Structure 1
């Protein structure tokens, strides 16, 4: 089932998400719905707070990014082929490398894209969809997508990483999004 995406201004996007157990109700179906929602919305990642659940769960398919890159662009990310994974109860173990800029967007903040600086690598402790413990290091665009989704679990948004003056210039657009004055090709849920 395709779920509505929570829009900027909804309080769940500023809530620190909670860990879950294997007994979380209908978790398998929720994960399937998140994949379907993410693909329908043309996203490469989706975090549970974006579908109005304050739990530590996100899905990422950065592999689809690499299918759309030309050979020259693929050379820019030699150690990153992308990943398609479920991340439950993720916590950052380490950040590595220099911060680098990339133009990010967010399904919860449609029609706004900005350069955001993030580290080159992230090592995460998390559980997979079978609740098996994992510790993996990700780099390049995949690390970026994971860090973007991880931010949602911590109540942060990509716009929190841009300079205050730039955020101030975006205030009108952000206010419009929070009021529902935005048109997208997917369902959205707005704060009341």
Structure 2
């Protein structure tokens, strides 16, 4: 399909997956996609070798990219927080080359409708990465037989709320400053997200 990936899993500068029909060995959703600016990016499951790059991403997040007190403010606290997330759930990371630029974590792994959180580095916001990460999340969660996904979001984060609603999340509870939202994964929507790229055009 005109796309190559090196042994570290990073994407080449030029590729086109629009004609890819998929194979039985593909992950739940094609890991390769382009941002709005045409940059080739990759989303895949977290690997232990990603830990330092993930900590660096969180340490470099600006104030506006943080939410509800997360991530913690110092590198040691970030590392401890990530350790708890990674040991209790599963994660996906977004990559630009070898740089981690986004992360979605799902906890607990054994819940039928686990909670998730998502962060995108400020250099890659407004470039469709957040939406793609959520689509990847939904595709993987369906493949892992979760029945739903839940989240909490600040009422002031209108942009994120709009993205979640566009994906299909519904508000289940309104708190003083936060909303609880949930997505039912037992719908045909999950299967649509899992189609190979050629079937999605």
The answer to which structure, 1 or 2, has the higher relative contact order (CA under 8 A, 6+ apart) is 1
Q: TM-score, normalised by structure 1?
A: 0.27
Bigger share in strand: 1
